[in-house]
Amino acid sequence: MKNNNNIILIGLMGAGKSSIGTQLADRLSMQFVDTDEFIEKKLGKTVNEIFEIDGEVFFRKLEAQILQEEDFMNHVIATGGGMPVFGDNMEQLNKLGTTIYLRISEDKLAERLWMVRKKRPLLRDIKSIKDLSSFLEQQLNIREKFYEKAHYVLNINDKASCEILEDLCIIVDKLKKTSH
């Protein structure tokens, strides 16, 4: 395990980074941080409001700032889906801890995100589940080369959250063994 002991979950929105991350942190008695929530608390605005009022570029600057300024130790970190894709964020994430890409198909994601799309600034104007799936496919085409720089890639397509949690614990166990 890297000496800062952080486990960092990356992947597209809807992959379950925050919910699985919270469970993983509980299980490992680590602290949990979600970068979207971190930004929301810092600014006192939702991510939706930041995109609307200040713009996406401003939001991306805040994401990069977290990586430059915050000194996380012993955290499970759930990142926003776009974080690894901008600037040298992916390299920074790989230095900040062990990165794990939660890989899931666009169709599975579209099913999960359709009912909650209004809460996501990049999805709220999409009109049909088919368009949502096409948009997510496009996003994956652009983003996967960044996500694949993660230390681990975990396929989660047909897995229940308890199985994903077990798989993550196996990875963490391996990391602990190899770091001694």
Which residues of the shown chain bind ligand S3P in the complex (CB under 6 A)?
A: 13, 17, 36, 47, 80-82, 120-122
Helix (H) or strand (E) run with residue 40 in it: helix 35-43
Residue number with CB closer to ligand S3P (31 or 138): 138
User: CB of 94: closest distance to ligand S3P in angstroms?
Assistant: 18
Residue number with CB closer to ligand S3P (148 or 173): 148
Q: Pick from 103, 113, 92: which is nearest to 14 by CA?
A: 113
Residue number with CB closer to ligand S3P (118 or 176): 118
Residue number with CB closer to ligand S3P (36 or 167): 36
Distances (CA, A) of 62 to 7, 11, 33, 86, 135: 21, 19, 15, 11, 24
Q: How many CA atoms lie within 13 A of 111 on its CB side?
A: 6
User: CB of 152: closest distance to ligand S3P in angstroms?
Assistant: 18
The bridge status of strand 152-155 relative to strand 98-103 is parallel
User: CB of 26: closest distance to ligand S3P in angstroms?
Assistant: 19
**Backbone torsions φ then ψ of 84, nearest 5 degrees:** -70, -10
User: CB of 127: closest distance to ligand S3P in angstroms?
Assistant: 19
